């Protein structure tokens, strides 16, 4: 499988290099859908220039990147294009390897459940075969690398690519956790510590970069518990022990990373500039998210309340989803990633591209998706309408912000409906697997599954 | 300075341009004149005689032409620009023609016309300058030694209110009307359709037509120009801040560029060695700092670049800590025994 992957990588790199050299690069770099105040390249350059002039880059509300990014780009700023292309390639390779391992896990689990006779007799057509699962990792890498959103994000040199790669490495570390070579260890929990360590480190790094991957703690924990065959009961001692270990690993690595960042500039300035900025949303530049319009028209004394409401909205779906999807943590991770990229305070199309890369993993759900045609049309049309209405609003002056916000709303509704459609299809397939394909009601007529 | 725009304020532009012409005629070059006009008359679509601005009825005198050098035109005539010109606080990129390069030996004439009220003057129909701001600007000029003597003439309604607040020395002020009175315009021209001049400026110009560079007319004559019978409004003046007697102040001190020239028929040899002449008067020579003009044009700043700051480098402790952490994580996940393979 390496050769097609290499071909895909080469194609992606060519496309990006070609776009870098063309005149479109400047046009794309300044689009608000691609570059938000958190991750635009102009601000990175500005922050580094301020640093060269002897001023802290966090003074003044220009620079909102973490100190590790300062360190990374201080030496690599001349090779920025190369860095971003390599980052994209690394993300794709990480996703490829992760999905490869995930497929093995899925297949093993499926085999186990078939042997245990947990499936109904007539669901043979729903079972995934290795044949069709063979090309899924390649498709995932393809979806990520050649997605127009990713390409635009890379050409704009938005640091969203770095965030995506950290999350991808985190997913790889989590999924690969069980295949670390088992060494001779004395105690069981030491082994589990080894497994979870890299995953916790990458999760801490992802949370440090942008606050929202905090919510990915739950699916990662559920996955690792599943791998350890620890049942998820609230009274189980091993469950709490493992949770405590993972949580403490995660928190400790986060604290270590933050303290290390303090030593870069010898100040804690970066905390209000990065996390305070993400949480309190002071910059209301239009983007593809939902925050800017609301807060632009809101009265001052309500804004604190609504900021809290909007931010809780991002974190809120974790618990119900954890309860519902505790058997399927990787799907939970996908849904959580989607929720983060829809409801975060400054979303860009790079975030959308990350969760869209996972769609081939659930291509077997295709027959249960109800609205996929309409939703894909909505998403494609909205993507094209964004620059049109921006031009009408800002340059031609014949539209106003309501038009652009309408497209934002439609785009986000499209994304939400996409996720809920996949959610419905997933649950429906699970139900069919255990209860058989032809459901009958009590009086013998054919029944329909409804998501309540 | 003409502070109005739009076609019906034709007379203000004509006022300013007429004063400009007189001042040029009496010898002041363009490099010493800052002319601020909205400059929308000559090429206005409503002008029946394009490229001209007339100041006398029957179109006798065209005060616009090839040799009119407008320094601040159209939307550049703002209160901010006016005050910056006066006080000299101008961005380094401003060209010389837009600067008032005066020093402590310069006599300055300021002529302003437009629409005004009690204590303010309207600029371009969108902002105002108050008499307090103007007085403060003049005080700044005095403290920066930007003028020797200043003559301020204003032709607006209630113009005397503009000089009420001056408190800097060496200023004479003239206004076309008192507080509560309106200044009136002089003559409409039926061919062009607007009033061509204001009364006060018209009579001032008639007065100035008789001045030539050698004339000995003094300020008191200027104060008598345009009595109430001709002007309908009562012109006012203020001389209490002025140190000399207005009787002794020549009109050409302000309106013209008159230099004292001595013609000699002997040949003077300029000696390279000036030390000899200096030693004749040792007791008269005091060790004084050479006198120089105030720095108007910050040439040094423009020519010499600022030295480049030292580049920032991340502290060594940070780099050490970061890479130690990375190596620790690497070996924790992949096992210490791999170190054997590395070495």
Among B22, B5, B7, which Cα is nearest to B194's? B7
For the residues A83-92, what does the mean pLDDT come to? 93
CB atoms within 10 A of CB B259: 7
CB-based contacts of A119-125 (< 8 A; 24+ apart in sequence): A119/A433, A119/A434, A120/A432, A120/A433, A120/A434, A120/A435, A120/A436, A120/A437, A121/A436, A122/A436, A122/A437, A122/A438, A123/A432, A123/A433, A123/A436, A123/A437, A125/A437
ipTM of the complex in this document: 0.73
pLDDT band for position B338 (cuts 50, 70, 90): low
Calpha distance B79→B84 (Å, rounded): 8
For the residues A285-291, what does the mean pLDDT come to? 90
DSSP codes joined into one string, B211-242: --TT---BHHHHHTSS-HHHHSS--EEE-TT-
Calpha distance A322→B335 (Å, rounded): 33
How high is the pLDDT of residue B214?
80
CB atoms within 10 A of CB B75: 11
* Burial (CB count within 10 angstroms: exposed 0-12, middle 13-18, buried 19+), residue B233: buried
How high is the pLDDT of residue B280?
46
How high is the pLDDT of residue A267?
86
Picking from A68, A198, A264, the nearest residue to B315 by CB comes out as A264
How high is the pLDDT of residue A185?
44
Q: Does domain B7-255 have CATH number 3.40.50.300?
A: no
CB distance from A260 to chain B under 8 Å?
yes
Q: Which residue has the higher pLDDT, B231 or A419?
A: A419
| B49 CB-near residues (< 8 Å, 6+ apart) | B59, B191, B192
CB distance from A140 to chain B under 8 Å?
no
For the residues B237-253, what does the mean pLDDT come to? 86
CB contacts of B322 in chain A (<8 Å) are: 68, 71, 260
* A256–B309 CB contact, under 8 Å: no
CB distance from A53 to chain B under 8 Å?
yes
- Confirm whether A440 is domain-assigned: no
Residue B8 has pLDDT above 60, yes or no: yes
Residue B180 has pLDDT above 60, yes or no: yes
Residue that has been written with the tokens 């070609």 in this structure: A18
- The 10s digit of each residue's pLDDT in A25-76 is 888 888 888 999 988 999 999 998 888 888 888 988 889 999 989 888 988 8
Contact indicator for A154, A85 with CB cutoff of 8 Å: yes
Residue B148 has pLDDT above 80, yes or no: yes
* B329–A198 CB contact, under 8 Å: yes
The alpha-carbon gap from A55 to the nearest alpha carbon of chain B, in Å, equals 10
Give catalytic residues of B, as residue numbers: 115, 157
The alpha-carbon gap from B300 to the nearest alpha carbon of chain A, in Å, equals 22
* Residues of chain B with a CB closer than 8 angstroms to some CB in chain A: 309-315, 317-319, 321-322, 325, 329, 332-333, 335
Query: Please, how many CA atoms are within 13 Å of residue A350, restricted to the half-sphere of its CB?
Result: 32
pLDDT band for position A195 (cuts 50, 70, 90): low
CB contacts of A183 in chain B (<8 Å) are: 335
In the numeric block, which tokens belong to residue A136?
Answer: 């899924």
- The 10s digit of each residue's pLDDT in A118-137 is 777 777 777 878 887 888 99
What is the residue range of A164's domain?
Answer: 1-435
Q: Which residue of chain B comes nearest to A256, CA vs CA?
A: B325
- Report the domain count for chain A: 1
In the numeric block, which tokens belong to residue A224?
Answer: 């690792």
Choice among B50-64, B165-179, B282-296 with the minimum mean pLDDT: B282-296
Residue B147 has pLDDT above 70, yes or no: yes
How high is the pLDDT of residue A194?
61
The alpha-carbon gap from B330 to the nearest alpha carbon of chain A, in Å, equals 9
Count each helix (H run) and each strand (E run) in chain A, helices first.
21, 0
Among B253, B61, B239, B63, which Cα is nearest to B147's? B253
For the residues A129-148, what does the mean pLDDT come to? 88
How high is the pLDDT of residue A119?
77
Calpha distance B221→B237 (Å, rounded): 12
For the residues A268-282, what does the mean pLDDT come to? 90
Calpha distance B55→B195 (Å, rounded): 9
How high is the pLDDT of residue A54?
81
How high is the pLDDT of residue B309?
59
CB contacts of B328 in chain A (<8 Å) are: none
What backbone torsions phi and psi does residue A65 show, to the nearest 5 degrees?
-100, 160
* A263–B317 CB contact, under 8 Å: yes
For the residues A284-313, what does the mean pLDDT come to? 90
- The 10s digit of each residue's pLDDT in A328-368 is 999 999 999 999 999 999 999 999 999 999 999 988 888 88
Residue B297 has pLDDT above 80, yes or no: no
CB distance from A452 to chain B under 8 Å?
no
Contact indicator for A161, A153 with CB cutoff of 8 Å: yes
CB distance from A201 to chain B under 8 Å?
yes
Residues 327-356 of A with CB under 8 A from B: none
Mean pLDDT of chain A: 87
| A:B CB pairs within 8 Å | 41
* B318–A74 CB contact, under 8 Å: no
pLDDT band for position A77 (cuts 50, 70, 90): confident
CB atoms within 10 A of CB B121: 28
* B309–A52 CB contact, under 8 Å: yes
Residue A15 has pLDDT above 80, yes or no: yes
How high is the pLDDT of residue A233?
76
What backbone torsions phi and psi does residue B315 show, to the nearest 5 degrees?
-65, 150
How high is the pLDDT of residue B277?
47
pLDDT band for position A143 (cuts 50, 70, 90): very high
pLDDT band for position B279 (cuts 50, 70, 90): very low
- Confirm whether A295 is domain-assigned: yes
Residue that has been written with the tokens 């809780």 in this structure: A312
Calpha distance A45→A29 (Å, rounded): 13
Residue A186 has pLDDT above 50, yes or no: no
The alpha-carbon gap from A292 to the nearest alpha carbon of chain B, in Å, equals 33
Picking from A51, A70, A198, the nearest residue to B333 by CB comes out as A198
CB distance from A79 to chain B under 8 Å?
no
How high is the pLDDT of residue A413?
95
For the residues B54-73, what does the mean pLDDT come to? 81
CB atoms within 10 A of CB B296: 15
Say if strands B171-175 and B236-238 run parallel, antiparallel, or are unpaired. antiparallel
CB contacts of B319 in chain A (<8 Å) are: 71
Say if strands B115-117 and B120-123 run parallel, antiparallel, or are unpaired. antiparallel
Choice among A107-121, A234-248, B296-310, B320-334 with the minimum mean pLDDT: B296-310
How high is the pLDDT of residue B284?
47
Contact indicator for B314, A76 with CB cutoff of 8 Å: no
Q: Which residue has the higher pLDDT, A292 or A446?
A: A292
How high is the pLDDT of residue A187?
47
* B312–A183 CB contact, under 8 Å: no
Question: Mutate which of B306, B308, B312 to test chain A, going by most A C-beta atoms within 10 A?
Answer: B312
């Amino acid at each position: 499988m390496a050769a097609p992957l290499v071909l895909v990588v080469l194609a992606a790199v060519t496309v990006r290099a070609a776009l870098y050299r063309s005149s479109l690069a400047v046009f794309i770099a300044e689009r608000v859908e691609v570059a938000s105040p958190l991750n635009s390249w102009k601000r990175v350059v500005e922050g580094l220039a301020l640093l060269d002039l002897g001023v802290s880059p966090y003074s003044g509300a220009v620079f909102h990147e973490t100190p590790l990014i300062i360190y990374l780009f201080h030496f690599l700023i001349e090779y920025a294009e190369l860095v971003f292309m390599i980052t994209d390639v690394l993300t794709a390779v990480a996703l490829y390897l992760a999905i490869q391992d995930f497929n093995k896990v899925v297949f093993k689990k499926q085999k186990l459940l078939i042997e245990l006779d947990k499936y109904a007799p007539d669901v043979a057509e729903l079972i995934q075969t290795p044949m069709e699962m063979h090309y899924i990792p390649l498709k995932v890498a393809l979806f990520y690398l050649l997605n127009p959103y990713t390409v635009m994000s890379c050409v704009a040199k938005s640091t969203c690519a770095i965030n995506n790669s950290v999350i991808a490495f985190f997913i790889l570390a989590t999924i690969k956790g069980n295949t670390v070579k088992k060494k001779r260890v004395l105690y069981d929990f030491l082994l589990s510590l080894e497994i979870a360590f890299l995953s916790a480190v990458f999760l801490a790094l992802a949370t440090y970069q942008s606050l929202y991957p905090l919510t990915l703690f739950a699916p990662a924990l559920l996955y690792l518990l599943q791998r350890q065959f620890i049942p998820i009961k609230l009274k189980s001692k091993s469950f709490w022990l493992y949770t405590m270990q993972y949580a403490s690993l995660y928190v400790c690595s986060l604290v270590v990373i933050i303290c290390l960042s303090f030593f870069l500039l010898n100040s804690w300035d970066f905390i209000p500039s990065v996390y305070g900025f993400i949480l309190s949303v002071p910059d209301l530049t239009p983007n593809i998210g939902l925050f800017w319009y609301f807060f632009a028209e809101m009265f001052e004394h309500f804004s604190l309340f609504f900021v809290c409401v909007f931010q809780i909205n991002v974190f809120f779906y974790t618990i119900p989803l954890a309860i519902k999807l505790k058997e399927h943590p990787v799907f939970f991770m996908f849904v959580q990633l989607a929720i983060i990229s829809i409801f975060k305070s400054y979303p860009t199309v790079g975030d959308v591209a990350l969760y869209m890369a996972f769609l081939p993993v659930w291509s077997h759900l295709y027959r249960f998706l109800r609205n996929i045609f309409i939703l894909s049309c909505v998403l494609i049309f909205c993507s094209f309408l964004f620059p049109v209405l921006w031009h009408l609003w800002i340059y031609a002056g014949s539209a106003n912000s309501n038009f652009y916000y309408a497209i934002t709303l439609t785009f986000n509704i499209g994304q939400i409906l996409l996720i809920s459609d996949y959610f419905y299809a997933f649950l429906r397939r699970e139900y069919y697997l255990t209860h058989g394909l032809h459901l009958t009601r009590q009086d013998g007529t054919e029944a329909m599954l409804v998501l309540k | 300075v003409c502070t109005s725009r739009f076609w019906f304020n034709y007379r203000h532009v004509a006022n300013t341009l007429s004063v400009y012409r007189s001042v040029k005629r009496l010898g002041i070059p363009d490099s010493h004149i800052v002319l601020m006009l909205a400059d929308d008359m000559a090429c206005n679509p409503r002008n029946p005689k394009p490229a001209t601005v007339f100041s006398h009825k029957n179109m006798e005198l065209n005060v616009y032409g090839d040799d009119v050098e407008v320094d601040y035109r159209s939307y550049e005539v703002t209160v901010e620009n006016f005050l910056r010109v006066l006080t000299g606080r101008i961005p380094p990129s401003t060209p010389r023609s837009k600067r008032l390069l005066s020093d402590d030996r310069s006599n300055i004439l300021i002529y302003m016309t437009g629409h005004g009220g009690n204590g303010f003057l309207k600029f371009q129909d969108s902002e105002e300058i108050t008499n307090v701001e103007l007085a403060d600007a003049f005080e700044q000029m005095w403290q920066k030694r930007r003028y020797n003597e200043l003559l301020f003439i204003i032709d607006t309604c209630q113009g005397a209110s503009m000089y009420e607040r001056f408190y800097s020395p060496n200023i004479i002020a003239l206004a076309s009307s008192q507080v509560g009175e309106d200044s009136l315009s002089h003559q409409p021209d039926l061919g062009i359709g607007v009033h061509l001049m204001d009364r006060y400026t018209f009579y001032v110009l008639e007065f100035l037509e008789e001045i030539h560079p050698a004339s000995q007319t003094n300020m008191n004559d200027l104060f008598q120009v345009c009595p109430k019978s001709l002007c309908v409004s009562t012109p006012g003046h203020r001389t209490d801040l002025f140190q000399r007697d207005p009787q002794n102040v020549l009109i050409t001190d302000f309106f013209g560029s008159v230099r004292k020239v001595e013609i000699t028929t002997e040949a003077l040899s300029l000696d390279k060695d000036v030390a000899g002449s200096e030693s004749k008067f040792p007791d008269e020579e005091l060790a004084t700092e050479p006198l120089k003009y105030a720095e108007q044009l910050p040439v040094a700043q423009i020519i010499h670049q600022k030295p480049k700051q030292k580049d920032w480098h991340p502290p060594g402790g940070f780099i050490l800590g970061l890479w130690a952490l990375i190596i620790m994580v690497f070996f924790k996940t992949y096992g210490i025994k791999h170190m054997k393979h590395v070495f």
